Amino acid sequence: MPKKKTSNVSIKRRSFLTNSVKASVIGAAAAGFPHIWMKQGNVFAANNEIKVGVLFSLTGGLAIIEESLHKATIMAIEEINAAGGVNGMKLKAIEADPASDPATFAAKARTLVLKEKCVTVFGSYTSASRKAVLPVFEKRNNLYFYPTLYEGRECSKNVIYTGAVPNQQQDDFIPYLVKTYGKRWSLIGSNYIYPKEENNYCKILLKKLGCEVLMEEYVPLGHSEFSSVVNKFKNDKPDVIFSTVVGDSVVALHKQYRAAGLNPDKMPMASLTTSENEVAAMGGDAAAGHLTSAPYFMVHQSAENEKFVSSYKKRWGSDKVTHFVSEPAYFGVYIFKQALERLGASGDITPPNIMEACKGQELIAPQGKIRIDPDNLHTYLWPKIGICKSDGQFDIIQKTDNWLKPLPYAAYPDQTCTEKGLVNA
Per residue in 406-415, pLDDT tens?
999 999 999 9
Residue 337 counted as domain residue: yes
Contacts of 179 (CB under 8 A, 6+ apart): none
Tell me how many domains the chain contains.
2
Contact call for residues 158 and 143 (beta carbons, < 8 A): yes
**Domain match, 290 and 365 both:** no
Going by pLDDT thresholds of 50, 70 and 90, the confidence category of residue 37 is: very low
Instruction: Give the whole-angstrom CA distance, residue 55 versus residue 45.
Output: 20
- For residue 3, is pLDDT > 60? no
Q: Which one is predicted more confidently, 312 or 30? A: 312
Cβ-proximal residues to 187 (8 Å cutoff; 6+ apart), any chain = 199, 202, 203, 213, 215, 216, 217, 241, 242, 244
The pLDDT tens digits for 111-122 are 999 999 999 999
Whether 119 and 173 map to the same domain: the answer is: no
- Quick one: 288 and 196 in the same domain? yes
Place 338 in a pLDDT band, splitting at 50, 70 and 90.
Answer: very high
- The pLDDT tens digits of the residues spanning 164-199 come to 999 999 999 999 999 999 999 999 999 999 999 999
Strands, E assignment, 212-252: 212-219, 240-244
Claim to verify: residue 305 and residue 159 sit in the same structural domain: yes
Pair 107, 216 in one domain = no
The pLDDT of residue 345 is 78
Q: What is the DSSP letter of 217?
A: E
Q: State residue 346's pLDDT score.
A: 76
Task: Give per-residue pLDDT as tens, 215-272.
Answer: 999 999 889 999 999 999 999 999 999 999 998 899 999 999 999 999 999 999 999 9
Is the pLDDT higher at 15 or at 44? 44
> Per-residue pLDDT for 1 more than 70?
no
User: Rounded CA gap, 392 and 288, in Å?
Assistant: 8
Among 267, 294, 321, where does a domain finish? 294
- Global confidence as pTM: 0.87
- Note whether 52 and 156 are same-domain residues: yes
Residues 221 and 204 in one domain: yes
Taking Cα atoms as reference points, which of 420, 410, 386, 381 lies closest to residue 147?
381
Question: Which residue has better confidence, 241 or 40?
Answer: 241
Both 310 and 352 in one domain: the answer is yes
Buried b (16+ CB within 10 A) or exposed e, 325-356: bbbbbbbbbbbbbbbbebbeeebbbbbebbbe
Domain shared by 152 and 174, yes or no: no
Percent share of the chain, pLDDT over 90: 85
Could you write out the DSSP letters of every residue in 333-359? Answer: HHHHHHHHHHH-TTS---HHHHHHHHT
Q: Residue 15 pLDDT more than 90?
A: no
Model confidence at 42, pLDDT cuts 50, 70, 90, reads low
DSSP one-letter code for 237: -
Residue 95 has pLDDT above 80, yes or no: yes
Phi-psi map region of 68: left, alpha, beta (phi>0 left; psi -120 to 50 alpha) = alpha
Question: Does the residue 356 lie in any domain?
Answer: yes
290 and 194 assigned to the same domain: yes
Confidence category of residue 311, pLDDT binned at 50, 70, 90: very high
User: Could you give phi then psi for residue 82, rounded to 5 degrees?
Assistant: -65, -25
CB 398 within 8 A of CB 172: yes
Q: Which of 33-47, 97-111, 143-157, 290-304 has the lowest mean pLDDT?
A: 33-47
Give domain status of residue 412, yes or no.
no
CB 277 within 8 A of CB 326: yes
Determine contact, residues 63/88, Cβ cutoff 8 Å: no
Q: Is residue 416 part of a domain?
A: no
Q: What is the distance between the alpha carbons of residues 415 and 425, in angstroms, rounded to a whole number?
A: 6
CB 409 within 8 Å of CB 375: no
How is the chain split among helix, strand and coil, in percent rounded to 5?
40, 20, 40
Decide the pairing of beta strands 291-294 and 240-244.
unpaired
Report if residue 417 sits inside a domain. no
pLDDT-wise least confident of 29-38, 264-273, 278-287, 385-394: 29-38
Reduced to 3 states (helix: H, G, I; strand: E, B; else coil), residue 306 is helix
Domain boundary among 250, 267, 294: 294
Picking from 294, 310, 329, the residue at the C-terminal end of a domain is 294
- Cα separation, 367 vs 381, in Å, equals 8
Instruction: Residue 345: give its domain's CATH number.
Output: 3.40.50.2300
Q: What is the mean pLDDT of the chain?
A: 91
If asked whether residues 96 and 240 sit together in one domain, one would say no
43, amino acid identity:
V
pLDDT band at 135 (very low <50, low <70, confident <90, very high): very high
Please check whether residues 251 and 304 belong to one and the same domain: no
* 145 occurs within a structural domain: yes
Query: Would residue 154 count as lying in a domain?
Result: yes
Cα–Cα–Cα angle for 376, 274, 73, rounded to 5 degrees: 55
394 domain residue, yes or no: no
For 205, the domain range is: 168-294
Instruction: Please give the residue that has the higher pLDDT: either 3 or 114.
Output: 114
Half-sphere exposure of 120 (CA within 13 A, CB side): 30
Mean pLDDT of the 347-352 span: 92
Residue 419 has pLDDT above 80, yes or no: yes
What region, left, alpha or beta, does residue 284 occupy, with left being phi > 0 and alpha being psi -120 to 50 degrees? alpha
Closest CA to 332 of 24, 97, 121, 176: 121
Closest CA to 257 of 164, 388, 64: 388
CA distance 405 to 152: 13
- 126-146: b (≥16 Cβ within 10 Å) or e: bbbbbbbbbebbeebbbbbbb
Give the per-residue pLDDT at 418: 95
Quick one: pLDDT at residue 247? 86
Cβ atoms < 10 Å from Cβ of 103: 11
State the helix-helix crossing angle for 173-180 and 193-208, rounded to 10 degrees: 60
Asked if 363 and 357 count as a contact pair (C-beta separation under 8 A), the reply is: no
